[in-house]
Amino acid sequence: MLEIIPLPVLTDNYIYVIHEPVSDETAVVDPALAQPVLDILNKKNWKLTYILNTHHHWDHVGGNLELKQKTACKIIAAESDRYRIPGIDIGVKEDDVISVGKQSARVISTPGHTSGHIVYHFAEDNTMFCGDTLFVMGCGRLFEGTAGQMWNSLQKLKALPASTRLYCTHEYTLTNGRFALGVEPDNIALQQRMIEIQRLRAENTPTVPSTIEQERATNPFFRADSLTVQKNLNMHNQPPAQVFAELRKRKDSF
């Protein structure tokens, strides 16, 4: 299994350092900053092999070049973002497979938040690094894509095995949960989950990882095809992509 260390940085970002113990290879996902990564590498006596970027925003790639300079790691990111992500060595696209030691990840294209956003799904490890496409009880804003694109992207992730653990790169969960309760106030699973989320945040503990199963039950952006959600939005029997668009519009001004 992968050893995964979340590093809280900036206001609400997570960097993920992942270590494959058999090969001793190490990767970092979306390094906003270099120094926290260098510190954990030094503490663990690990050598950085790869940077895995999900998209081009500065708070996901800000540490790329310093880490590459100091560790000689290789940077993997979407080929379509080669000119927006600094230092790319290996450009990838949908269904390409990359490896960190003995663990392999399939690349899933998830346009919406940005046009070139990708997700890394380590199927054997039951783990997904989803950047800003999917959050715990939320999803990313539509900066470069359409609601239809994002809905289709979320369907790819929703179809993954229920036990898949998702590691998103922002701690937005409390606000997301409050919005979700406004959409589905009678959702018992959501009510129970918010109690747990509030406890975790009171202890300053990350709310990640979540699972696909939990998101199917509580994430309104996964649930735009739910009759309950549609009814509560006065959008009964409307196309799910349109319901999703309305949800995203409301969340933008929440």
Question: What's the CATH fold of domain 3-252?
Answer: Metallo-beta-lactamase; Chain A (3.60.15)
206-225 pLDDT, tens per residue? Answer: 999 999 999 999 999 999 99
Considering the chain, what is the average pLDDT of its residues? 97
pLDDT of residue 137: 97
Q: How confident is the model over 20-37, as a mean pLDDT?
A: 97
Q: What is the pTM of this model?
A: 0.96
pLDDT of residue 82 exceeding 90: yes
Could you list the active site residues?
Answer: 55, 57, 59-60, 113, 132, 170
For residue 33, report the phi and psi dihedrals to the nearest 5 degrees: -130, 150
52-63 pLDDT, tens per residue? Answer: 999 999 999 999
Q: What percent of the chain has pLDDT over 90?
A: 99
Kindly give, in sequence order, each residue whose CB lies less than 8 Å from that of residue 56, ignoring residues fewer than 6 positions away: 77, 81, 84, 85, 114, 116
pLDDT of residue 197 exceeding 90: yes
Nearest to 180 by CA among 211, 139, 125: 139
pLDDT of residue 237 exceeding 90: no
Q: How confident is the model over 151-171, as a mean pLDDT?
A: 98
Residue 5 per-residue DSSP state: E
- Domain layout of the chain by residue ranges: 3-252
Q: Which two tokens stand for residue 78?
A: 């979407």
Q: What percent of the chain has pLDDT over 70?
A: 100
pLDDT of residue 5 exceeding 90: yes
Do 62 and 15 contact (CB within 8 A), yes or no? Answer: no
